[in-house]
Structure 1
Amino acid sequence: MPNVDRYLSLVTSQHQNKPKFKAWLSAPLSMLESCSEAAENLYAHFDLDTAAGAQLDTIGQIVGVDRVVDFQPGDGSSPKLDDENYRVILKARIIKNQWKGTLPELYDIWETLFTNAFIVLQDNQDMTIDALIIGLFTDLQRDLITNGYIIPKPLGVEINYIYSENPFFSYGLSNRDFKGYGEGYWTQYV
């Protein structure tokens, strides 16, 4: 950002005491300073993590995602998304556009979008993938995932979603998301 006083201090001694010259030099420098401040503020207004309302709508137009989803959410809420959920599908769409189609990348995408949920992906080798999802989700987030707004998939591949708020049953593994006998739960397809 240009500082007018800094540039005026660079004026040679011959013109230091000339008020008209300093005024002439200050005019374009102050305009340049205003433009520079506007450009710096533009980034802050359209940062995906801090943008809200109309700013998110503008980002959505650029990315190609509408705020209104093409299904009626199961919880009876409006298909017009609030800022928090809209921000998640915007991030998901940006990541989808850069996805190379590998399963390890899907884990990275998931960790970027949902930090407190866990996903296990299994390629069934028959053009289907099982996605086991553990964690606290709202019904709207489940609907967004099930309707393909979050997890990218290759054309022709079907994803079977399995949701659980309880830890999955597993042999020999015990952590927050997987438990053994008496604590783990069996899953079912959605």
Structure 2
Amino acid sequence: MPQEITKNTQHTAEGLLLFIDRYKNKPRLASLILIFLDQVQELEDALFELITDRTIDAAVGVQLDILGVIVGQPERVGLDDDDYRTIIKARIKVNRSDGHAEQLIEILALVATLTGVEQPAEILLLDVPPAALRISLLTDIGPLDPLIVFNLLNDARGAGIKLDFIYTTTLKADTFTFGGDGPNDPDKGFFNSDTPSGGKFGNKEG
């Protein structure tokens, strides 16, 4: 287990206490040593800020933008700090991915927390011969940009594998279904003169 890092704010006072008796009560010497001790404290403060205030969970604004550039997700595309933070975490998972289906599902599940719908999200992944994957988000994608999601998933896929991302911009209750998909709801199939709206189809990236 990693050891918790504790900030030391007493470098100056602790340094002065290390004087041997011969050099105690020497104000000029103390003034000289204080110059170096103060620099040590400033270095501690700066390093602690670097460790704590620039982590993904703590960084804000420009600091978060820098982290996005570092991991390969430099574009916010209108995202606020909290949402951008989630996308950065997803990009890190992408960078570590070796294309396994479970990893793609994990990435989509993470970004799906930004959709505003009840979690956990419903995800379906199908292996499409000879060399393709179709991954579907069965819950409303909401305000999330589907292109951001597709780019993450596409970068995480295995080499030589085509990927299709299927999503819907409507509630699951309004999505198109055939009678054999579950309870036969005539309002969710093809439209007719009685139900001119019908069910709504999904969308695809890829």
Mapped partners of 2:41, 2:83: distance in 1? 37
By how many angstroms is 1:81 displaced? Answer: 4.6
- 3-state SS of paired residue (1:14): helix
- 3-state SS of paired residue (2:46): helix
In structure 2, what is the equivalent of residue 13 of structure 1?
21
Q: 1:149 aligns with which of 145, 148, 152?
A: 152
Mapped partners of 1:48, 1:22: distance in 2? 41
Q: 1:135 to 1:49 in 2, by over 3 A?
A: farther
Question: Is 2:11–2:40's contact at 8 Å kept on the other side of the alignment?
Answer: no
Mapped partners of 2:98, 2:108: distance in 1? 15
By how many angstroms is 1:166 displaced? Answer: 1.3
In structure 2, what is the equivalent of residue 92 of structure 1?
90
Amino acid at match of 2:48: E
Q: Which runs of 5+ in 1 are unaligned?
A: 69-78, 170-178
- Listed as ranges, the matches of 1:162-173 within 5 Å are 162-164=166-168, 165-166=171-172
In structure 2, what is the equivalent of residue 67 of structure 1?
75
Mapped partners of 2:33, 2:97: distance in 1? 50
Pairwise CA RMSD of aligned residues?
Answer: 3.1
Alignment size in residue pairs: 169
Question: Is 1:48–1:56's contact at 8 Å kept on the other side of the alignment?
Answer: yes
Bigger helix share: 2
Mapped partners of 1:8, 1:107: distance in 2? 57
Question: Is 1:93–1:150's contact at 8 Å kept on the other side of the alignment?
Answer: no
- Listed as ranges, the matches of 1:5-154 within 5 Å are 5-67=13-75, 79=77, 81-115=79-113, 116=119, 117-146=121-150, 148-150=151-153, 152-154=156-158
In structure 1, what is the equivalent of residue 116 of structure 2?
none
- 3-state SS of paired residue (1:87): helix
The share of aligned pairs that are identical, in percent, is 25
By how many angstroms is 1:82 displaced? Answer: 4.3
Amino acid at match of 2:87: I
Alignment of 1:4 onto 2:12: yes
Amino acid at match of 1:42: L
User: Considering only CA atoms, is the larger Rg found in Structure 1 or Structure 2?
Assistant: 2
By how many angstroms is 1:131 displaced? Answer: 0.9
Mapped partners of 1:113, 1:145: distance in 2? 7
Q: 1:126 to 1:188 in 2, by over 3 A?
A: farther
Amino acid at match of 2:103: E
The TM-score normalised by the length of structure 2 is 0.66
Amino acid at match of 1:130: R
Q: Which runs of 5+ in 2 are unaligned?
A: 1-7, 114-118, 190-200
Q: List per-residue Cα deviations over 1:8-59 (Å, max 9, x = no partner).
A: 1222222221112222222111101101101111234422233233222222
- 3-state SS of paired residue (1:163): strand
In structure 2, what is the equivalent of residue 181 of structure 1?
183
